[in-house]
């Protein structure tokens, strides 16, 4: 009987040890899965975000504009694009240095994010000192209101720019393009129109927006 009891106790001990090892293994696997998910999330963020400003990058812009273009066609709704460029940014860098230039880009980015408040409004750094915004379900009047809000908010931030040809502070020029006929166009056409409007705004003296509808 004693021998049998010892065998049973031994088996129970082995079973307890096995269960504990199993629990430890499960905990370890959970931690590895959580760490892998965090790494994947971080990698995804890196691949879609501009590292300096934290805004979405050009690659993500192209993904989102295609998606919103399809929505505009399916729902017969307007869609607008705003191109924004910092006025005399080369002179800003020459005057204050590239670190100050980076800081300026970060401030502009924050203002843009705070100004575009609707859930589907999208803003990205397009390249250098140029930014782009997608305004789904937004007509020309609405897009102009957003463009003017962006212009005012950035000017009111009063970021010094003593060698600007426009103001003592950093200003921006904007090109706005809207269409109610996405089904008759491709998004590149609207983007080109916004870019052309941006350059017209620069030609007319900067610190303003020009709007077109196609």
Q: In 3D, which of 179, 178, 80 has the Cα closest to residue 120?
A: 80
pLDDT per residue as tens, the chain (214 positions): 555 556 656 665 666 666 777 677 777 878 877 877 776 666 566 679 999 999 999 999 999 999 999 999 999 999 999 999 999 999 999 999 999 999 999 999 999 999 998 999 999 999 999 999 999 999 999 999 999 999 999 999 999 999 999 999 999 999 999 999 999 999 999 999 999 999 999 999 999 999 999 9
From edge to edge, which strands make up the β-sheet containing 130-136? 122-127, 130-136, 79-86, 172-179, 209-213
Give DSSP secondary structure letters for 8-60.
HHHHHHHHHHHHHHHHHHHHHHHHHHHHHHHHHHHHHHHHHB-TTT-SB-HHH
Cα separation, 21 vs 14, whole angstroms:
10
CA 154 centroid distance within chain = 18
Buried b (16+ CB within 10 A) or exposed e, 128-144: ebbbbbbbbbbbbeebb
Task: List residues bridging with 132 in a β-sheet.
Answer: 83, 124
pTM: 0.80
pLDDT of 42: 64
Cα separation, 19 vs 175, whole angstroms:
66
pLDDT of 33: 78
pLDDT of 158: 97
Cα separation, 130 vs 128, whole angstroms:
6
Contact assessment for residue 112 and residue 150, using Cβ atoms and an 8 Å cutoff: yes
Cα separation, 164 vs 92, whole angstroms:
7
DSSP 118: S
Distance from the first to the final alpha carbon of the chain? 95
CA 129 centroid distance within chain = 14
CA angle 116, 120, 123 (to 5 degrees): 50
Q: In 3D, which of 82, 81, 59, 55 has the Cα closest to residue 69?
A: 81
pLDDT of 38: 75
């Amino acid at each position: 009987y004693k021998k049998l009891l010892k065998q049973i106790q031994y088996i129970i001990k082995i079973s307890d040890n096995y269960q504990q090892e199993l629990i430890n293994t499960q905990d370890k696997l959970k931690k590895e899965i959580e760490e892998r998910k965090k790494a994947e999330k971080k990698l995804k963020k890196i691949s879609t975000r501009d590292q300096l400003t934290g805004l979405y990058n050009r690659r993500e812009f192209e993904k989102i504009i295609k998606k919103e273009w399809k929505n505009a066609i399916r729902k017969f709704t307007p869609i607008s694009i705003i191109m924004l460029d910092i006025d005399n940014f080369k002179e800003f860098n020459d005057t204050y240095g590239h670190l100050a230039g980076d800081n300026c880009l970060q401030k502009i980015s924050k203002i843009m994010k705070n100004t575009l408040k609707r859930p589907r409004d999208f803003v990205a750094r397009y390249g250098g000192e140029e930014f782009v915004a997608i305004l789904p379900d937004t007509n020309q009047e609405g897009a102009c209101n957003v463009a003017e809000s962006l212009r005012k908010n950035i000017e009111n931030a009063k970021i010094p720019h003593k060698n600007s040809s426009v103001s003592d502070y950093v200003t921006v020029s904007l090109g706005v393009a809207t269409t109610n006929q996405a089904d008759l166009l491709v998004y590149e056409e609207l983007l080109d129109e916004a870019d052309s409007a941006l350059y017209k705004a620069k030609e007319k003296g900067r610190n303003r927006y020009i709007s077109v509808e196609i």
